[in-house]
Structure 1
Amino acid sequence: MERRNLFRAAAAATLVTTAAPEVAHAAPATFDQDDPRFAIAVLPDTQYLFDADSSDPAPLRETFGYLLEQRAEDNIAFLTHLGDVTEHGTEQEIVLAGQTFTKIDGKLPYSVLAGNHDVDGSKDDQRGASAYLSTFGPQRQRKSRTFLGASPDGYNTAHLIEAAGRKWLILALDWRISDKGLAWVKSIMGDYPTIVTTHDLAYADDTGQAALSDHGQRLWDNLIKDHDQIFLTLNGHYWPPGRTTLRNARGNDVHVHITNYQDRYYGGAGMIRLYRFDLVRNRIDVETFAPWFLARDPARRTPLESETIELTSDVDRFSLDFDFDARFPTPKPAPRPAARVVDRHTAAYWRFDQAGQSVADGATVRDLSGKGNHLTVRRLANSTPETLTLSEEHHVGAPAHASLRFDGGKNPDRGAVLQTAGNAPLNSAKFLDGYTIEAFVKLPEPFAGDHSWMGILSWEGRAGDAGKHSGWSDLEPTCSLNISGERFLQYVLYSEVGDHNPTHWSHALPTGVWQHLAVVNDGKRSLVYVNGSKIARNPTQPARGIATVGRPFTLGATSFDLKYGQGFYGWIGDVRITARALRPAQFLPGGHYR
């Protein structure tokens, strides 16, 4: 947190503790709704910053500036305020708070709800007109594209955000929602993963263990318990902060969190929490900090500022394991026909879901590019029919919902290969203007036995026969994609132009999950991608074309001195070769990297 704000600390060197001038912030940044990682900012009770003639909105302005400045880096989707915006709910306080919020109007979607200090706390959401409603009511919220609707009384709002390729519902409920308000909430809820925000729902003891308040119990019994889409509740009002996990009527977890720092120095100083959702790691990481103090020159911070910059107790900084796909399954993409992933640049495309497809020795897997590069199945010595079988397993983004299951290995060497015929155009293709090779691969879990240096695909032919002598051996093939004993992906290439032998190395591939592999060559050099991410060890050596020598393209193994022993161990899905460099967005999975 300190490192990414050093530049702002320098700019803030002349600030003083109270009524500090605002630090200039960068222009608003964009939000990537397709990124599987995003954040929701949570802002609890700011009431002591808007307290009659003691008001000081500077901390909140700094918080808003921070959120706008960091929006792209942290991929912040939304901000939710948990109520008690002001201390007395007077028109003077509410108007000042409303003016402060104009800093993010139209730049960062947000919700605000009424706490007991913002309205007449003796009444529920049927209380009628108020200064709060005039300033923060639906007429303000509906200007946001995330605004879904408001209850007829105006005190309860719903917000639909799009993040990580999903839609998420955030409910901002009045501090005392009525039966009419609850009926409205139930009418607007869909099947979206839902977060309930309100002012009073749970309180905590000094250990941080939370329990439902009386009003919270009412919300639990009449809304939360029976709506499985609600997985997280956030409230302020009480301190200290705390959390607990409850089980709903379906036996699923509901995370109940209290966030309130008004008892801390400077009324909490506009402190926020960031809930970082990570749908790749299936985690929610939570951190709590005060941007106002963070922006100050460390050498000029007072002791109280320094100790309040970031809170690190287990109720302020923690992580939750959360399997989003298991709790909220989404429809999987339907198979895509070959015509949707083949164009005039496609040199070859093989998939394993064709009607009547066989994997017996001699069976043909057709090249769906129309270029005639059909594959023929052949098992190696010491192999059985089980060495190669058809499978319904597939990467979620693969066009075909099928794959080949290879059971190759060492001791004794065994495997299966699929090879082009002797006259296939692919055998002599040079790809001088660039190419992209793609394959879906999954390694078994557990990854038992010795399967080091197994080949995924290759062009057969000795490097020496192609006049290339720069590599490890003149007997290795001119182009191959392999996996080492440490499960590192290795791409070895002998260029057609020049005696170059660039070798690429990935990180260790995980087991039990599908990977999309891509080699992209632009006619000058090659880059290897795993799941759309460029690997680290991509050499800068020139690489123009592939030094093919007219021998077959092979799927499922790599030859040495034109001989095959060990075959691949695992699954191989769709394989496509394109005679030009593709961008990651043009790869077979599109946006379905998992």
Structure 2
Amino acid sequence: MVLFSNIHIFKAIATLFCMVNSTVNSQNSFEFVVLPDSQTLVEEFPEVYKSQMEWIVNQKDRFSFVLHVGDITQNNSEEEWEVAKSGLSLLNQKVPYNLALGNHDMGSQPGKFADTRNTVLANTYFPINQYIKNSNSIATFPENTIDNSCAEYNLAGTNWLVFSLEFGPRNKTIDWANNIIEKYPEHRIIVNTHSYMYNDNTLQDGDDWYLPQKYGVGKAIGEDAVNDGGQLWEKFIKKNKNIRMVFSGHILGSGVGQLVSQNDYGLKVYQMLANYQKNVKGVERGDSGYLRLIKVNKNDKTISVKTYSPWLKTFKTEPEHEFTFKDVNI
């Protein structure tokens, strides 16, 4: 586990990055980007993937940060990680980005999806020292890896923690996150993880497809046991008063979903699924390049969600792709 003495080192870097983005943070609203599973783009359509990053950079004064929900690559190969790095590196020291590793981003060899929790390639192409500079991270877990990270931001006058958690977060990962939250009791919190919601607007659990427990990593027990969406809600999300938003990908079918639930304190948690990879309904080739734009407005008490493709230069305006949560307690 990362020692909390290391948090002070990370925070110094994060503070410098926040100063760069002071224009964004001085407003009564803030906006950020959610990158859905990019595996199809990285494998087959790198020009579309690059266009996403170039567009974000061109809007760098608009966005406070970027979240990637995981499955950055399709086959966890060196070639695909090189593409992923070349795209995300365009954001370096311009827009912070936080990565959640998906089942396609780990495994014993390329094409072995989460048979083991081997994330060597992810950590090779995004070395920890570089990652913390570009992610505002104040802590990572396990130590000296990017497998799980916690970033800190001041957004429209409010302090936030952003957790990016591994595919099937382990019991010990949840313990790590809870320990950090205890030290920041007044911070609002966003959770970014790969597998959490299903496309029927429910938490992924029970007999749903693609549960973490159905992969090789799901055979672990004890502190290494994995958690699906329902378990993550019960053990972590609903118990923490200040978690406000949860983002995930992973699921096919419609590839989208939204759910508003009350936590143990009677406060609403806004949970969203977005995936536009190959074989998702409406984007069968997966080359459309859609991403999510999330805007939080403290004055209006709203969270607005839009879906846009820099490649196609168009929005998806159907209700499942463009919507607003009202009377939000931010």
After TM superposition, the score normalised by the length of structure 2 is 0.78
Cα displacement (A) at 1:224: 0.5
Tell me, what secondary structure is at the counterpart of 1:142? helix
Contact 1:44 1:81 in 2 (8 A): yes
Contact 1:277 1:284 in 2 (8 A): yes
Superimposed CA distance per residue, residues 145-184 of structure 1 (whole angstroms, 9 cap, x where no aligned partner)? 7221101252100111111011111110001221221111
Superposed, 1:45-64 pairs within 5 Å as: 45-51=37-43, 55-64=44-53
Cα displacement (A) at 1:144: 2.8
Q: 1:216 to 1:81 in 2, by over 3 A?
A: same
Unaligned runs of 5+ in 1: 1-27, 295-308, 329-594
Matched, 1:318 2:323: yes
CA RMSD of superposed structures (Å): 2.0
The separation in 1 between residues aligned to 2:64 and 2:166, in whole angstroms, is: 22
Tell me, what secondary structure is at the counterpart of 1:66? helix
Please identify which structure carries the higher strand content.
1
Superimposed CA distance per residue, residues 514-554 of structure 1 (whole angstroms, 9 cap, x where no aligned partner)? xxxxxxxxxxxxxxxxxxxxxxxxxxxxxxxxxxxxxxxxx
Matched, 1:140 2:127: no
Letter in 1 for 2:197: A
Tell me, what secondary structure is at the counterpart of 1:284? strand
Partner of 1:116: 103
Matched, 1:289 2:308: yes
Tell me, what secondary structure is at the counterpart of 2:296? strand
The separation in 2 between residues aligned to 1:58 and 1:210, in whole angstroms, is: 34
Contact 2:195 2:204 in 1 (8 A): no
Q: 1:156 to 1:123 in 2, by over 3 A?
A: farther
Superposed, 1:48-447 pairs within 5 Å as: 48-51=40-43, 55-72=44-61, 75-120=62-107, 121-122=113-114, 127-144=117-134, 146-152=136-142, 154=145, 155-189=147-181, 190-191=184-185, 192-205=187-200, 209-213=201-205, 215-239=228-252, 240=254, 241-262=256-277, 263=280, 264-294=283-313, 309-324=314-329
Please identify which structure carries the higher helix content.
2
Q: 1:47 to 1:184 in 2, by over 3 A?
A: same
Question: Which structure is richer in relative contact order (CA contacts within 8 A, separation 6 or more)?
Answer: 2
Letter in 2 for 1:46: S
Tell me, what secondary structure is at the counterpart of 1:103? helix
The separation in 2 between residues aligned to 1:253 and 1:149, in whole angstroms, is: 26
- Taking only the aligned residue pairs, the percentage that are identical comes to 25
Letter in 2 for 1:277: V
Cα displacement (A) at 1:213: 3.0
Contact 2:33 2:66 in 1 (8 A): yes
Cα displacement (A) at 1:193: 1.0
The separation in 2 between residues aligned to 1:61 and 1:31, in whole angstroms, is: 26
Superimposed CA distance per residue, residues 218-259 of structure 1 (whole angstroms, 9 cap, x where no aligned partner)? 111111010011111110001320111112112221111101
After TM superposition, the score normalised by the length of structure 1 is 0.44
Unaligned runs of 5+ in 2: 1-19, 108-112, 207-227
Q: 1:178 to 1:288 in 2, by over 3 A?
A: same
The separation in 1 between residues aligned to 2:172 and 2:127, in whole angstroms, is: 17
The separation in 2 between residues aligned to 1:106 and 1:91, in whole angstroms, is: 24
Q: 1:145 to 1:92 in 2, by over 3 A?
A: closer
Contact 1:29 1:69 in 2 (8 A): no
The separation in 2 between residues aligned to 1:277 and 1:291, in whole angstroms, is: 21
Q: How many residues were matched structurally?
A: 274
Cα displacement (A) at 1:139: 2.8
Partner of 2:13: none
The separation in 2 between residues aligned to 1:141 and 1:83, in whole angstroms, is: 15
Equivalent residue for 2:24, pick from 24, 32, 53: 32
Letter in 1 for 2:246: T
Cα displacement (A) at 1:268: 4.6
Contact 1:196 1:230 in 2 (8 A): yes
Contact 2:104 2:114 in 1 (8 A): no
Cα displacement (A) at 1:203: 0.5
